[in-house]
A and B are shown apart, each in its own frame.
Chain A
């Protein structure tokens, strides 16, 4: 992926994506393009429809209308597991780990989609399955080291401290070998120090050739790592562009940053 020059090839393309819940228009005809290898941020006030947009991309919701193209393939209305197989991984706003599984097992679940073992292989523990299990355990440990929580490998996910749970979610998502990583408020509840560490982690993820699409509230963090920003308000796209432009946009200031900013 790294050989694809950034700024030419788009990995995710939304065309007039709309999601309606009854009378509520959660996402209103949003179009955007994310380029390969960039950090793209989605911001907006609470209830702007950011997470709904994520859910529509990852197949949790079927969009009411519009089109989602990922890596040159139309994935509108695909099931979540199909989307994951194609190469979109995500984390959740409210951490959704497998609480009563160890950290390393959580990451191994992420490897599921890239594993080959069939029921018979597992039932009879065939050598092939054994080797795959060993390899996957090693890969999972490597990912835990990558996000810096290897020391928690054998702890239950729910027993990890909050910040490490967020990291574990990222490791689990990376285990699916995504081309595009969706981070839903990854720094929520973080201390400034933790936010700096998170920015470092996001940069490390980029060097793996993974495009990052994130929702974030912290303007400093967003301005620091993202190349382009889209601002949603009441489900509508009200601004798009590089951070310094968006920061000056009058509609953004009114809708999101408030008059004081």
Chain B
């Protein structure tokens, strides 16, 4: 009898956890759909929509890196390299850049084609990087990927004949569609169909595009997660020796994780190039790789919904909370009659200046605090959650087992 009850409670627990993921997806989807209309209505401009579209790039990156780090357990510290490869693939073939290169001919290939080209090029580089390095384990792999992440931006910087180097590639083509629908959700007065629509710098259009890309990516990654390949990744993460003994070719399986993870980054890169209109080598530095990694770990490694939340939270923290902190502090102190705090005086630099200087210290403190308070991430996968409950659960099992034995 206790066995049956424990089994029931277990099933119930499973249901609840599964429901939680479904609920998170549902809430995210509703917020995503209402976001442009709500924010345009509330603020009168599209600033928050374009912010959300930028955040979407990071979500895409985090979802991709989650395949490598969360599923297959490979620590990749050079993920931004694939992002750069995707962005440069698009930028080179959708701008005037190659006219001044030894090719003397500018290409203007359509965005929709280059989205997939960027994806495949990044995947190919993922495989090229993976092939010689995936025999390495753990820390060694991390160091090699770190090196790769440093080399790629340097290459784009120094191949200035082709990439313009430090001058970056500007005036990149924007995507266009034969028709587009606009309406009150995008701040227009009426619902209307626009012919020969060019995305130009329309934040709502980019927002719609990135939301569709993210939904597609999440569906595909979810499919992979619960498949033959997904199980093979997890098996390698758990125990590589045992996985090999079960007939899993660990080298090709890890290679696939690298290539598929990289392809999402390439995808995001092409989108980034188009939406930003400018691609420069210093947009792909080490800090980008680390930020994406932080998003994955903080959101809940291995859990796709958690990783999305993590990406949004970190983006919001970095680009909104911390960046506007000095100004907010200044106006706050003025409002409550402590304006004198803003005057620099000897060693005191003034409140807003201090906040400006301490931004990254605060960021670090927040990350450390988060990891101390919730080491499994905001929305951990069931795996991480189990890790914490492990002691209790084992005890329970023993009871079940004894009940069976008697």
Q: What CA separation (Å) do A190 and B8 show in the bound complex?
A: 29
Whether A15 sits at the interface, judged by CB under 8 Å, is no
Min Cβ gap B392→A in Å is: 10
Interface string of A120-133 (1 = CB under 8 A from B): 01111100010011
Min Cβ gap B384→A in Å is: 8
Most chain A CB within 10 A, of B226, B231, B383, is at B231
Complex interface residues of chain A between 143 and 170 (CB less than 8 A to chain B): 151, 154-156, 158-161, 164
Q: What CA separation (Å) do A148 and B14 show in the bound complex?
A: 23
Whether B406 sits at the interface, judged by CB under 8 Å, is no
- Taking CB as reference atom, which chain A residue is nearest B389? A159
Neighbouring A residues of B383 by C-beta, 8 Å: 100, 156
Which stretch from A18-26, A103-111, A201-209 is at the chain B interface? A103-111
Q: Are A108 and B231 in contact (CB under 8 A)?
A: yes
Complex interface residues of chain B between 205 and 250 (CB less than 8 A to chain A): 220, 223-224, 226-232, 234-235, 238-239, 241-250
Neighbouring A residues of B239 by C-beta, 8 Å: 96-99
Q: Are A161 and B7 in contact (CB under 8 A)?
A: no
**A-side interface size class:** 35 or more
Q: Are A161 and B242 in contact (CB under 8 A)?
A: no
Which stretch from A43-51, A79-87, A216-224 is at the chain B interface? A79-87
- Taking CB as reference atom, which chain B residue is nearest A86? B247
Interface string of B249-290 (1 = CB under 8 A from A): 110000010001000000000000000000000000000000
Given contacts A108-B231, A113-B247, A122-B229, contact A159 B241 (CB under 8 A): no
Neighbouring B residues of A159 by C-beta, 8 Å: 386, 390, 393-394, 397
Q: Are A80 and B228 in contact (CB under 8 A)?
A: no
Whether A73 sits at the interface, judged by CB under 8 Å, is no
**B-side interface size class:** 35 or more
Neighbouring A residues of B393 by C-beta, 8 Å: 156, 159
Q: Are A133 and B235 in contact (CB under 8 A)?
A: no
Q: Are A113 and B248 in contact (CB under 8 A)?
A: yes
Whether B160 sits at the interface, judged by CB under 8 Å, is no
Complex interface residues of chain B between 382 and 401 (CB less than 8 A to chain A): 383, 386-387, 390, 393-394, 397-398, 401
Which of B224, B238, B247, B386 contacts A112 (CB under 8 A)? B247
Whether B16 sits at the interface, judged by CB under 8 Å, is no
Min Cβ gap B10→A in Å is: 7
Q: What CA separation (Å) do A124 and B221 show in the bound complex?
A: 10
- Taking CB as reference atom, which chain B residue is nearest A80? B244
Q: What CA separation (Å) do A168 and B154 show in the bound complex?
A: 50
Q: Are A81 and B229 in contact (CB under 8 A)?
A: no
Q: Are B14 and A123 in contact (CB under 8 A)?
A: no
Q: Are B398 and A161 in contact (CB under 8 A)?
A: yes
Q: What CA separation (Å) do A154 and B256 show in the bound complex?
A: 27
Most chain A CB within 10 A, of B226, B235, B245, B398, is at B245
Q: What CA separation (Å) do A237 and B248 show in the bound complex?
A: 32
Most chain B CB within 10 A, of A60, A81, A84, is at A81
Q: Are A119 and B223 in contact (CB under 8 A)?
A: no
Q: Are B245 and A109 in contact (CB under 8 A)?
A: no
Q: What CA separation (Å) do A105 and B226 show in the bound complex?
A: 10
Q: What CA separation (Å) do A105 and B238 show in the bound complex?
A: 12
Pick the 8 closest A-B CB pairs, nearest first.
Answer: A113-B247, A122-B227, A84-B247, A98-B238, A80-B244, A96-B242, A100-B383, A117-B228
Chain A to chain B contacts (Cβ below 8 Å), 30 pairs: A60-B244, A79-B244, A80-B245, A81-B246, A81-B250, A84-B245, A84-B246, A96-B239, A96-B241, A97-B242, A98-B234, A100-B238, A101-B234, A105-B234, A109-B231, A112-B246, A112-B248, A113-B246, A119-B256, A122-B223, A125-B227, A132-B228, A133-B228, A151-B3, A151-B7, A151-B404, A154-B10, A155-B10, A155-B397, A161-B401
